[in-house]
Amino acid sequence: MNVIEAIGLGKRYGSTWALRGCALAIPAGHVAALVGPNGAGKTTLLNLAVGLTAPTEGTVTVLDGRPAGSPAALDGIAFVAQDAPLYKSLSVADMLHLTRNLNRRFDQSYAAARLGQLGIPMRRRAGNLSGGQQAQLALTLALARRPRLLVLDEPMAMLDPLARHDFMAAVMAAVADGDVSVVLSSHVLAELERVADYLVLITSGSVQVAGEVDDLLASHRVLTGPAAEADSYAQRLDVVNARRGGAQAHLLVRTNGRSGPVPPGWEEHPVSLEELALAYLREPGAGALPGPTRARGAEPMEVTNWQR
């Protein structure tokens, strides 16, 4: 089952396309990271997925085919928007009651226990909590709804390192506990490496890279060798990004499953997620998209393979 599926998805604001021709199929049971520069379209994509916005073209469905924004979709998705919006004048207990009454499912005991563990007092006004506490409260409310999919839009932008750690720990614990998939957007790569097992890279309103982290890391390598030979190898190999010194060059290469022998005089290294993401972000023309039969109902996609 795909938790988010998009076919030809596009959203236009005025004359600008925030998102165009977006195709996506994020499978369930993963923690998917949506990564991209500011303004790339991450928030737009998430808003479309949770039904806050309607597409200009294309379709987006969630949780195995439910139309985004439909009652069935709203029921199964919990969303924490940027800056964790809450009713600032309500107390924490009031927010719990409100969320409980606005949803079918609400695990009151879980929410109360979690807030107790976090040391968030029930009677305090939500507006008087610290930024980290507000984020944790919003997360608690979302998790207490026991959603199938948890969507987080830059949840940690305003948090200090400890608060960030606690927040992510809570999300990961929820994933470990139950049947929750997570889609979260961020522009901080380093923190995602420990957390994400599915990566979606969005640049300039379209999906550049999408796939399981393990697959992506296994199918890319860095080859280091003499700069003079770099060009000739670049012809034969699928190079995503090249960096050169005077005598030495690093080629980030997509192996496409073929692990051929390393050319003599060259070394190969495995690639980290951050390095891989940065390389693709530097090369907007390159892409790594999943193969056929991923998106239901869509035409089989080719593995796009633009060279510079």
Interacting residues toward another protein by CB under 8 A: 31, 47, 50-54, 71, 74-75, 77-79, 81, 83, 85-90, 94, 97-99, 101-105, 107, 109-110, 113-114, 117-119, 138, 143, 145-146, 162, 165-166, 168-170, 172-179, 190, 193-197, 212, 214-215, 217-218, 267, 272
**Helix pair angle (108-118, 131-144), 10° resolution:** 160
Q: Say how many CA atoms lie within 13 Å of 125 toward its Cβ.
A: 6
- With respect to another protein, which residue has the nearer C-beta, 234 or 243? 243
- Shortest separation between residue 117's beta carbon and another protein, angstroms: 4
Gap between the Cα atoms of 300 and 290, Å rounded: 10
Q: How far is CA 214 from the centre of its chain?
A: 15
CB 306 within 8 A of CB 241: no
- Shortest separation between residue 270's beta carbon and another protein, angstroms: 8
- With respect to another protein, which residue has the nearer C-beta, 162 or 247? 162
- Shortest separation between residue 298's beta carbon and another protein, angstroms: 23
- Shortest separation between residue 157's beta carbon and another protein, angstroms: 14
CB atoms within 10 A of CB 74: 19
- With respect to another protein, which residue has the nearer C-beta, 174 or 281? 174
- With respect to another protein, which residue has the nearer C-beta, 188 or 285? 188
- Shortest separation between residue 292's beta carbon and another protein, angstroms: 18
- With respect to another protein, which residue has the nearer C-beta, 226 or 285? 226
CB 167 within 8 A of CB 155: yes
Gap between the Cα atoms of 240 and 231, Å rounded: 13
User: What are the backbone dihedrals phi and psi of residue 92, each rounded to the nearest 5 degrees, phi first?
Assistant: -60, -45
| Torsional sign, CA 212, 214, 219, 223 | positive
- With respect to another protein, which residue has the nearer C-beta, 110 or 204? 110
- With respect to another protein, which residue has the nearer C-beta, 195 or 301? 195
- Shortest separation between residue 307's beta carbon and another protein, angstroms: 26
Using CA atoms, how far residue 43 sits from 35, 121, 165, 205, in Å, is 10, 31, 22, 11
- Shortest separation between residue 185's beta carbon and another protein, angstroms: 14
Q: Taking the CA atoms of the chain, what radius of gyration do you get in angstroms?
A: 21
- With respect to another protein, which residue has the nearer C-beta, 213 or 242? 213
- With respect to another protein, which residue has the nearer C-beta, 14 or 234? 14
- Shortest separation between residue 284's beta carbon and another protein, angstroms: 27
DSSP assigned state of 34: E
- Could you write out the DSSP letters of every residue in 181-248? EEEEEES-HHHHTTT-SEEEEEETTEEEEEEEHHHHHHTEEEEEEEHHHHHHHHHHSEEEEEEE-SSE
- Shortest separation between residue 302's beta carbon and another protein, angstroms: 22
Gap between the Cα atoms of 248 and 244, Å rounded: 6
